[in-house]
Amino acid sequence: MKKITLAVMAIFAFGFANGQAKEGQVSKGKWLIEVNTGFGENVGNTSLSLTSSDGTTAYNIGAEGGYFIKDNLAIKLGLGYGDDGIEGNDTPIAYKIGAKYYFKKMIPIELSYNGVGFGYADANPTYLGFQAGYALFLGKNVSIEPGLRYNKSMNTDYYDDNFQFNIGFALHF
C-alpha cells in the first residue's frame, strides 16, 4: 500500500511540474468537450455516475461542451440524463450553462447555472455553481481536471446547498 501511495504522489508531483497547457489548448477559437465524475450529493448534474444500494440502482450520463471566446475563457453548455432508480419518480434531464476560465492556463475556475427538469415545476432544482481545480494536460488534446464544486441552491424550499468533488476528463480541439 505504501508503494502505491508513493507512486500516486510521484505521478501527481510530476503532473504539477509539467501539466501546464503549452500548445494552445485554451486559446481563442478552440473547442472543449468535457465529462466529469461527481462525488458527493448528486444534484442531477451533467456528470457520469452509477450507484447501487439496497437493490436500487441510480445512474447519470452527461457531458459538457465549450468554445473559447478568448484565450483562457470558454463558454460552456452541458446536458445530462439520469434515473434515481425509484419506481414512479420522473427521470430528470439536467442542463448547465456557464463560463470556464483557465487562470495561468492550468487552474480552471467555473461559474455556472445548472438545474434539473423533473416535470413538476415547484420542485425543479436550480443551482448557481462555482468550481475550481487544476488542469493536468497529458498531451496536446487531453487533460484531467480534479476540482471542488459548491452548488448554491436557488430553490431552498426543496433543496440544500452542497459540495462535490469532481474529476473531469477533457478533450481540447
Question: Is residue 56 scored above 80 in pLDDT?
Answer: yes
Task: With H, G, I as helix, E, B as strand and everything else as coil, classify residue 95.
Answer: strand
pLDDT at 131: 94
DSSP code of 132? Answer: E
pLDDT at 146: 95
Specify the range with the lowest mean pLDDT, choosing from 17-26, 78-87, 141-150, 157-166: 17-26
pLDDT at 112: 95
Q: What is the CATH number of the domain that holds 9?
A: 2.40.160.20
Does 50 or 168 have the greater pLDDT score?
A: 168
C-alpha cell at 123: 420542485
Short-list 122, 119, 126, CA closest to 43: 126
Alpha-carbon span 62 to 81, nearest angstrom? 6
Does 41 or 62 have the greater pLDDT score?
A: 62
Task: With H, G, I as helix, E, B as strand and everything else as coil, classify residue 25.
Answer: coil
Q: What is the pTM of this model?
A: 0.80
Question: Is residue 15 scored above 70 in pLDDT?
Answer: no
Does 101 or 164 have the greater pLDDT score?
A: 101
Write down the mean pLDDT value for the chain.
Answer: 83
Domain count, the chain: 1
- Taking the alpha carbons at both ends of the chain, their separation in whole angstroms is 38
pLDDT tens-digit readout, 110-151: 999 988 876 655 667 888 999 999 999 998 899 999 999 999
Where in the sequence is the domain holding 121, given as residue range(s)?
Answer: 2-172
C-alpha cell at 7: 507512486
Question: Is residue 13 scored above 60 in pLDDT?
Answer: no
